[in-house]
Amino acid sequence: MTFLEMLQAAQQRNRSLLCVGLDPEPTRFPAGLKGDATRIYDFCARIVDATGDLAIAFKPQIAYFAAHRAEEQLERLVRHMHAAFPHVPVILDAKRGDIGSTAEQYAREAFERYEADAVTLSPFMGFDSVQPYLKYPGKGAFLLCRTSNPGGDDLQNQRLASVDGQPLLYEHVAKLAQGPWNLNGQLGLVVGATYPAEIERVRALAPTMPLLIPGVGAQGGDAVATVKAGWRADAPIVVNSSRAILYASSGEDFADAARREALRTRDVLEAAKG
């Protein structure tokens, strides 16, 4: 299946819009694992096993692995995800943004080394920073559009001189992604849950594209407002929660607590669909 087909299948099978983010911080691991970077796989695999039937996607953040020289653990983790929950796609959160042969190597890293189903990208060097990823049939790429951090205003909320008025930069990115850049229907957009009005605007500009929406949970995004702004029956949204699920408990019951928080969040998102 293509990435988009996987998303749709996972949404239906697991009745979920919830993406489980995997941002492992060994200093926050429970007793027995705490502070031990060689146990990143063990911690994350327990979270995956506890939440895989509740998720529309998994999203490992590559920096949390690379900082601890845990890339091989990430490779092993992705293989485990695919084996245990083959219907749940894996989005590698890498936010790559280079061009030319370097971008080709980053694409190879995401799709061949880590075997991800999709990757996050920064599009601000233009289409040639995106194109190498589109050479992998069926894979997905989410472009940063309107991110959840306050500093996103510095660039994303600036107006451009344009033949079609003065769109904000994030609006221009959404139009490009929905239109001329989306050669094979592989693109999606990243829009932060902390800006529901902007989610609604992006959805209007990109009515059929999948949206990856971080910021629910520890970052304070409103789950209900997020769904009402972005979800459409024919256009999936992937609402990410990381720390609220990963660190729902610091005790030996961490996996059970993660499941309870994932179940609660999934049900809130589902109910918001109305």
CATH of the domain at 223: 3.20.20.70
Per DSSP, the three-state class of 59 is strand
- CA dist., res. 173 & res. 181, Å (int): 10
Q: Taking 90 as the threshold, does the pLDDT of residue 157 lie above it?
A: no
Q: What pLDDT shows up at residue 220?
A: 57
What was the pLDDT predicted at 58?
Answer: 98
User: How many CA atoms are closer than 13 Å to the CA of 228, on its beta-carbon side?
Assistant: 12
What percentage of the chain has pLDDT greater than the value 90? 83
Residues 76-86 have a mean pLDDT of 98
State the total domains in the chain: 1
> Sorting pLDDT into bands at 50, 70 and 90, what band is 219?
low
- DSSP class of residue 109 equals I
Q: What integer pLDDT is reported at residue 163 of this predicted model?
A: 62
Whole-model pTM? 0.95
Given a cut of 80, whether residue 70 has pLDDT beyond it is yes
Check residue 217 and give its pLDDT: 60
Question: Across all residues in the chain, what is the average pLDDT?
Answer: 94
CB 54 within 8 A of CB 12: no
| Confidence tier at 141 by pLDDT (50, 70, 90) | very high
Lowest mean pLDDT among 111-115, 165-169, 182-186, 270-274: 165-169
Indicate the residue type of 234.
Answer: D
- What is the average per-residue pLDDT within 45-53? 98
Q: What is the CA radius of gyration of the chain?
A: 18
**Among candidates 184, 175, 172, 241, which has minimal Cα distance to 212?**
241
Q: Which domain holds residue 86?
A: 3-272
- Overall average pLDDT of the 103-111 stretch: 98
Burial level of 115, CB count in 10 A (0-12/13-18/19+)?
middle
Instruction: Tell me 69's DSSP state.
Output: T
Mean pLDDT calculated for residue range 237-259: 96
- Whether the Cβ atoms of residue 130 and residue 140 lie closer than 8 Å to each other: no
Contact residues for 253 (Cβ-Cβ < 8 A; gap 6+): none
Per-residue confidence band for 165, with pLDDT thresholds at 50, 70 and 90: confident
* Inter-residue long-range contacts of 253-260, CB under 8 Å, 24+ positions, other chains counted: 254/30, 254/43, 254/46, 254/47, 255/46, 255/47, 255/49, 255/50, 256/50, 258/46, 258/47, 258/50, 258/51, 259/50, 259/51, 259/54
Higher pLDDT, 41 or 153: 41
For residue 14, name the pLDDT band (cuts at 50, 70, 90): very high
The catalytic site residues sit at 95
- Average pLDDT of span 3-22: 96
